[in-house]
A and B are shown apart, each in its own frame.
Chain A
Amino acid sequence: ETGVTQSPTHLIKTRGQQVTLRCSSQSGHNTVSWYQQALGQGPQFIFQYYREEENGRGNFPPRFSGLQFPNYSSELNVNALELDDSALYLCASSWVGGADYEQYFGPGTRLTVT
């Protein structure tokens, strides 16, 4: 069984640029969630995708967008980067529909905006 993987590991971008982060779900999972973890804080929910459609969204502006592909891999896109977007971005996959819902987290992508 393959776990959740994310790429890249680290990324440095300039304010105003756009970035795409990638996530490969755990085998057999049909749902992916994205979280932003600022330094010294708990993860904050960005959004979730289920069967390629957005299934819930946290308090993040529209410049945060996502995609889920038929193989259940996912992308997080952030436009017009701001300094406050610097954080660890975590994706988590899960199987919605089973008796025991649980999210499995990837190692994260560390984004630095300068």
Chain B
Amino acid sequence: GDSVTQMEGPVTLSEEAFLTINCTYTATGYPSLFWYVQYPGEGLQLLLKATKADDKGSNKGFEATYRKETTSFHLEKGSVQVSDSAVYFCALRGTSYDKVIFGPGTSLSVIP
């Protein structure tokens, strides 16, 4: 079945460092791909998305490119801030409308 794999956390970075969180997926057909963020004590917020191969999703300085040849959707940010500290989830929606499949999440801590 469809699945999502993310790099293990937690990740700790200094402010203004470069961030990469790796994500790979397994799915039939052409899934839509998402990154969600969850701040402490809150629900999920959609950070960015891409719906077809080679699309680049971007929001708040974060970017991810849908790479079908490597089945990847890595999250990047050039300069992280303390306020970016959160848990990040890679996710996909397959050919069925009925569910979004999430990875296990990667916890990010940014220190001043």
Which residues of A are in contact with B by a Cβ distance under 8 Å? 31, 33, 35, 40-45, 48, 55-56, 58, 90, 92, 96, 100-108
Q: How many angstroms from the CA of A102 to the CA of B33 in the assembled complex?
A: 11
A103–B100 touching, CB < 8 Å: yes
Interface segment among B11-19, B44-52, B64-72, B78-86: the answer is B44-52
Q: How many angstroms from the CA of A48 to the CA of B96 in the assembled complex?
A: 12
Residues in A with CB closer than 8 Å to B43 are 90, 105-108
Q: How many angstroms from the CA of A15 to the CA of B104 in the assembled complex?
A: 27
B46–A102 touching, CB < 8 Å: yes
Supply 14 further A-B pairs (C-beta < 8 A) apart from A45-B99, A56-B97, A101-B93: A33-B100, A42-B4, A42-B103, A43-B89, A48-B98, A56-B96, A56-B99, A90-B43, A92-B100, A96-B97, A101-B97, A104-B46, A105-B36, A107-B42
Task: Give the secondary structure class of B's interface.
Answer: strand
A90–B44 touching, CB < 8 Å: yes
A42–B89 touching, CB < 8 Å: yes
Answer whether A43 and B44 are a contact pair too, CB < 8 Å, given A101-B32, A102-B49: yes
Q: How many angstroms from the CA of A104 to the CA of B36 in the assembled complex?
A: 11
Q: Does B102 contact A (CB under 8 A)?
A: yes
19 sampled A-B residue pairs with Cβ under 8 A: A31-B97, A33-B99, A35-B102, A41-B104, A42-B91, A42-B102, A43-B100, A43-B102, A44-B102, A45-B101, A48-B97, A55-B97, A55-B98, A56-B97, A100-B51, A103-B100, A105-B36, A106-B43, A108-B43
Residues in B with CB closer than 8 Å to A100 are 51
What is the distance, in angstroms, from A22's C-beta to the closest C-beta of chain B? Answer: 15
Residues in A with CB closer than 8 Å to B98 are 33, 45, 48, 55-56
Residues in A with CB closer than 8 Å to B46 are 102-105
Residues in A with CB closer than 8 Å to B103 are 42
What is the distance, in angstroms, from B92's C-beta to the closest C-beta of chain A? Answer: 12
